[in-house]
A = this chain, B = another copy of it.
Amino acid sequence: MDTLDVDLGQRSYPIHIGTGLLSRPELLTSIGRRPMRLVTDAHVAEHYLTPVRELLSLDDEQILVLPAGETTKSMATVDQVMDWLLASRLPRDGMLVALGGGVIGDLVGFCAAIYQRGVDFVQIPTTLLAQVDSSVGGKTGVNHARGKNMIGAFHQPRLVLADTGTLATLPQREKLAGIAEVIKYGMLGDAAFFAWLERNMSALLALDDEAVRYAVYRSCEMKAEIVALDERESVDGGAGPRALLNLGHTFAHAVETYTHYTEWLHGEAVAVGLCMAADLSARLGWLAGRDADRCIALVASTGLPTRPPQGMRVDDFRTLMSLDKKVASGKLRLILLRSLGDAVVSADFDSQALDATLRHFGA
Contacts and interface: CB of A to CB of B under 8 A. Distances in A.
Interface stretch (A140-148, A260-268, A336-344): A140-148
Contact of A92 (B115, B322, B328): B328
Interface in A105-152: 110, 113-118, 139-141, 144, 146-147, 149-152
B151 A82 contact: yes
Contacts of A83: 144, 146
Interface in A83-116: 83, 86-87, 89, 91-93, 110, 113-116
Nearest to A35: B329
Given A75-B79, A82-B75, A154 B117 contact: yes
B323 A89 contact: yes
A152 B328 contact: no
Nearest to A85: B150
A325 interface: yes
A35 B153 CA distance: 21
A232 interface: yes
21 contacts: A34-B329, A75-B82, A83-B144, A86-B147, A86-B323, A91-B330, A92-B238, A92-B325, A92-B326, A92-B327, A92-B328, A114-B114, A115-B150, A115-B151, A116-B150, A116-B325, A117-B140, A117-B153, A117-B232, A117-B233, A117-B325
Given A237-B93, A238-B92, A150 B82 contact: yes
Contacts of A113: 153
B92 A117 contact: no
A34 B329 CA distance: 8
Contacts of A110: 114
A254 to B, nearest CB: 15
A83 to B, nearest CB: 8
A107 to B, nearest CB: 13
Nearest to A87: B146
A35 B115 CA distance: 30
Interface size class of A (residues with CB under 8 A): 35 or more
Given A75-B82, A114-B141, 10 more contacts: A82-B144, A91-B327, A91-B329, A92-B325, A93-B238, A113-B153, A116-B150, A116-B325, A117-B154, A117-B232
A141 B116 CA distance: 9
B91 A328 contact: yes
Contacts of A232: 117-118
A34 B330 CA distance: 11
A278 to B, nearest CB: 26
A153 B150 contact: no
A150 B86 CA distance: 8
Contacts of A154: 117-118
Interface in A299-342: 322-323, 325-330
Contacts of A150: 82, 86, 115-116
Among all A-B residue pairs, the 7 with the closest Cβ atoms:
A86-B146, A117-B152, A92-B325, A116-B325, A93-B328, A114-B151, A91-B327
Contacts of A34: 329
Contacts of A237: 93
Nearest to A323: B89
Nearest to A79: B75
Contacts of A116: 150-152, 325
Nearest to A86: B146
Contact of A153 (B86, B118, B144): B118
